[in-house]
Structure 1
Amino acid sequence: MTALNVPPHGGPDLPQERRLVTEIPGPRSREMFARKQAAVPPGVGTTLPVFVTKAGGGVVVDADGNSLIDFGSGIAVTNVGNAAPRVVERVRKQVADFTHTCFMVTPYESYVRVCETLNRITPGDHDKRTFLVNSGAEAVENAVKVARHATGRPAVVVFDHGYHGRTLLTMTLTAKNMPYKHRFGPFAPEVYRAPLAYPFRWPTGRERCAEEAAAQTIDMIDKQVGAENVAAVVIEPIAGEGGFIEPAPGFLPKIAEFCRANGIVFVADEVQTGFARTGHLFACEHEGIVPDIITTAKGIAGGLPLAAVTGRAELLDAVHPGGLGGTYGGNPLACEAALAVFETIEREDLVGRARRIGSIMLPRLRALAERAPAVGDVRGRGAMIAIELVRPGTTEPDPALTAQVAKRCHAEGLLVLTAGTYGNVLRFLPPLVIPDHLLEEGLTILEKAVIEA
């Protein structure tokens, strides 16, 4: 699908163009940021202190009238756009009917329809159940609860470079200390960390990465934990905050096979990778993985807070009545938004659109790597792409250069995000509805910033 096929999002009055009328950030945004600093604790960080007044398609418009190209999508949340027409229409109708009853008190059909859809579209044709919560961290935490309850086992295995959330348990599951875990301990017990098959940094090279990483993981589980004690293995099919790391091909299938052979629940954390982002509905489909439980959030509801736990019926049905849920989980506004997202992805072929975005971005970024020795690696799938910046001729991370490139992009009206365990990855998550011309223009800005920096 080309840009010409993408309908206007964010309203017809929102031009799909980069437009700078002040410096970035402008005076009104600076004024509001001063208010933010006086009212909000500094622990709530800000990537780019421009205050948004409107957004849609591939742009965000700030309080000073600047229109910036969006390569962030609110961290993979607004896959269908910031004001997708179907989302707006459904939410507008629902908010006039009722905003909340609590599904556990008096249920409503939209919650059930979301669960039915997820049971149908997630990988595998086995009998499934789904329940809804508010955030990705909540979904992952509930997946672990279900796995422990169903298996009667305590241990959970996670991986280097993984990110799973900011609650006590999901902080424990997360690998990176700063800023996510620093001085927030003590952490939850019975969590064990294994090496991730990180091709760019594997000591013996890409070719041996999958086999050796899988062997080390299985050896660790057998010797340090005991497979019979492991309730769940939790992994992102592409590590998000860790730096958009695609595990070496073959690694995920080996881990999934080991889990099946030992009665371990394989949990795919698809919070960032789900809903067409990678060129499949779910990233685990790239290698034919059928997880026992899949957690979703972010792109599920077009910007409204919603998350889900979907898994094998025998696992989720094992939990006693009242053991799952929450006051706001599956809020009716968010459920209507999710139904609109499902429809938009299907009708506008956003899976195909994600592949189209990847086919534009990856060749240009690989060409950039040929010109700029600091680009050590180019990786990703669909519209989930990253470059890793290093000191030329080495694999030594260069977080200072990464920050400088991001700053230059922001000043030119391109919103980009950084990531990575070492802070040296630029990650790109454009809305799937971004027009091609904005995608190309954003890449030109990025290329200039890398070369000049």
Structure 2
Amino acid sequence: MTEIPQERRVVTAIPGPKSVELQARRLATVAAGVGSTLPVFTARAGGGIIEDVDGNRLIDLGSGIAVTSVGASAEAVVRRASAQLADFTHTCFMVTPYEGYVEVCEQLAELTPGDHAKKSALFNSGAEAVENAVKIARIHTKRTAVVVFDHGYHGRTNLTMALTAKNMPYKQGFGPFAPEVYRVPVAYGYRWPTGAENAGAEASAQAIDQINKQIGAENVAAIIIEPVLGEGGFIEPAKGFLPAIAQFAKDNGIVFVADEIQSGFCRTGQWFACEDEGIVPDLITTAKGIAGGLPLSAVTGRAEIMDSAHSGGLGGTYGGNPVACAGALGAIETMRELDLNGKAKRIEEVMKGRLAEMQSKLGNGDIIGDIRGRGAMIAIELVKSGTKDPDPQAAADLAKACHAEGVLVLTCGTYGNVLRFLPPLVIGEDLLNEALDVIEQAFGRI
């Protein structure tokens, strides 16, 4: 495995000529509905760098959307997955099982919150994990309704589109959607009408009131929430909100599901974001960072809930693929050995400090309305000067300016006005600061 120099290098326009040529081939054969944030074609990646086919090296502040937390070519992931590839690529765990699947489930039982007996089932994608969590909750409770939250994102399958709040681009034109899905308010502190300090108590009271009056708690199988809302804008529910909702679920026999697909596996400076307020979910869904870039997801939860499904009721041809399981064991090994929770906390310290300085320099006409997030899951919400009106154009312009200078950033948010930062947890601090320099300069150009 060749070590990629950990330095930004821009040698062509971005995208460069080879990427432009590949993009033309792509447009001829790849469906138009599959988008790309930046059409530079990757040749190799590792640490905090993506190198494209033209020889440009971009600082990676996206991690493939929080996937390559251990880097895109982590030694332990490559070593374990390569060894597994040499032994066998697939048998289907439902046909003849293998140890790697069991080992991943053992690790999940150890790492996820709570000291109760736990079991897991492995799948391929985050959406698949969420969909199976709903199946498990429904068969366990013998109820049908599912409660989700404003600004939530849970996937692109039919059921998970129904669970997802944002219409465009995820839902537009793809209905009708799965029934018995209900949406209630979330404690979005920055935009809460009576102020962030009241958001936790007021939003939880409103959500619980709506559930009781409009659905009936006795009809609810599951309440599903991201402990830090990802696509919705890296929203941290105001303090007190998650404990209140979790307690309501417990009091009413509702399965509380923490969707940790983006926020899990050291991303927020803890193994799982729900640990911040001591939340112990009944079920937790994971994917993205679990396997160092290989496709793997899981539902982990209380053994008695997980065992509610009959034999053969859960699974899938590729679920818990042996190579992906090997990758997961390598990723977890790396997270432990390098203390990636500690590294995520340091990334937060550096990023929030620098972003606050930028906010201060911009003065009263500040377009950075809010700086938020935890660990290496940080965001800035951009607003029109002197207001809280969302400014999606500023987010798009900032991203474009960063891309041109060799820094890959992503946007998100229900209003499209949030710049989100998801650096690999192994990124060097000098590289991170260089990326922040580019971001600061970009503010001067929009």
Question: TM-score, normalization: structure 1?
Answer: 0.97
Instruction: Structure 1: give runs of 5+ residues left out of the alignment.
Output: 1-9
Give the secondary structure class of the aligned counterpart of 2:371: strand
Q: How much does 1:452 deviate?
A: 2.4
Judge conservation of contact 1:110–1:336 (CA < 8 Å) in 2: yes
Which residue number corresponds to residue 220 of structure 1? 210
Question: Which of the residues 138, 161, 165 maps onto 1:175?
Answer: 165
Letter of the 1:415 partner, please give it: L
Which residue number corresponds to residue 341 of structure 1? 331
Q: Distance in 1 between matches of 2:138 and 2:304?
A: 13
Question: Which of the residues 78, 91, 101 maps onto 1:101?
Answer: 91
Question: Which of the residues 425, 433, 438 maps onto 1:440?
Answer: 433
Q: Distance in 1 between matches of 2:235 and 2:39?
A: 28
Which residue number corresponds to residue 296 of structure 1? 286
Which residue number corresponds to residue 207 of structure 1? 197
Q: Distance in 2 between matches of 1:433 and 1:318?
A: 39
Question: Which of the residues 305, 309, 317 maps onto 1:315?
Answer: 305
Question: Which of the residues 345, 353, 359 maps onto 1:355?
Answer: 345
Q: Distance in 2 between matches of 1:371 and 1:225?
A: 48
Question: Which of the residues 267, 273, 278 maps onto 2:263?
Answer: 273
Question: Which of the residues 412, 420, 430 maps onto 1:419?
Answer: 412
Give the secondary structure class of the aligned counterpart of 1:404: helix
Which residue number corresponds to residue 32 of structure 2? 42
Q: Distance in 1 between matches of 2:99 and 2:359?
A: 50
Residue 403 (str. 1) matches residue 396 (str. 2): yes
Q: How much does 1:451 deviate?
A: 2.9
Give the secondary structure class of the aligned counterpart of 1:38: helix
Residue 368 (str. 1) matches residue 358 (str. 2): yes
Q: Distance in 2 between matches of 1:27 and 1:156?
A: 49
> CA offsets, 1:387-406, max 9 Å, x none?
00000111100001110000
Q: How does 1:130-169 map to 2 (within 5 A)?
A: 130-169=120-159
Q: Distance in 2 between matches of 1:148 and 1:98?
A: 36
Which residue number corresponds to residue 82 of structure 2? 92
> CA offsets, 1:129-148, max 9 Å, x none?
10100000000000000000
Which residue number corresponds to residue 247 of structure 2? 257
Letter of the 1:17 partner, please give it: E
> CA offsets, 1:208-229, max 9 Å, x none?
1000000000000000000000
Which residue number corresponds to residue 384 of structure 2? 391
Q: Distance in 2 between matches of 1:196 and 1:84?
A: 37
Which residue number corresponds to residue 240 of structure 1? 230
Which residue number corresponds to residue 11 of structure 1? 2
Q: Distance in 2 between matches of 1:366 and 1:44?
A: 35
Q: Distance in 2 between matches of 1:358 and 1:383?
A: 6
**Aligned-residue identity in percent:** 67
Residue 381 (str. 1) matches residue 371 (str. 2): no
> CA offsets, 1:19-67, max 9 Å, x none?
0110100000000011111111111001000000010000000000000
Letter of the 1:37 partner, please give it: L
Letter of the 1:382 partner, please give it: G
Letter of the 2:2 partner, please give it: G
Give the secondary structure class of the aligned counterpart of 1:103: coil
Question: TM-score, normalization: structure 2?
Answer: 0.99
Question: Which of the residues 183, 190, 193 maps onto 2:183?
Answer: 193
Which residue number corresponds to residue 58 of structure 2? 68
Give the secondary structure class of the aligned counterpart of 2:444: helix
Judge conservation of contact 1:132–1:309 (CA < 8 Å) in 2: yes
Q: Distance in 2 between matches of 1:146 and 1:371?
A: 51
Q: Distance in 2 between matches of 1:257 and 1:423?
A: 32
Judge conservation of contact 1:11–1:56 (CA < 8 Å) in 2: no
Q: Distance in 2 between matches of 1:94 and 1:155?
A: 41
Q: Distance in 1 between matches of 2:275 and 2:197?
A: 22
Q: Distance in 2 between matches of 1:126 and 1:11?
A: 43
Q: How does 1:12-27 map to 2 (within 5 A)?
A: 12=3, 14-27=4-17
> CA offsets, 1:123-181, max 9 Å, x none?
00000110100000000000000000000001000000000000000000000000000
Q: Distance in 2 between matches of 1:152 and 1:369?
A: 51
Give the secondary structure class of the aligned counterpart of 1:452: coil
Give the secondary structure class of the aligned counterpart of 2:373: strand
Give the secondary structure class of the aligned counterpart of 2:65: helix
> CA offsets, 1:318-352, max 9 Å, x none?
11100000000000000000001111100110010
Instruction: Structure 2: give runs of 5+ residues left out of the alignment.
Output: none
Q: Distance in 2 between matches of 1:11 and 1:287?
A: 42
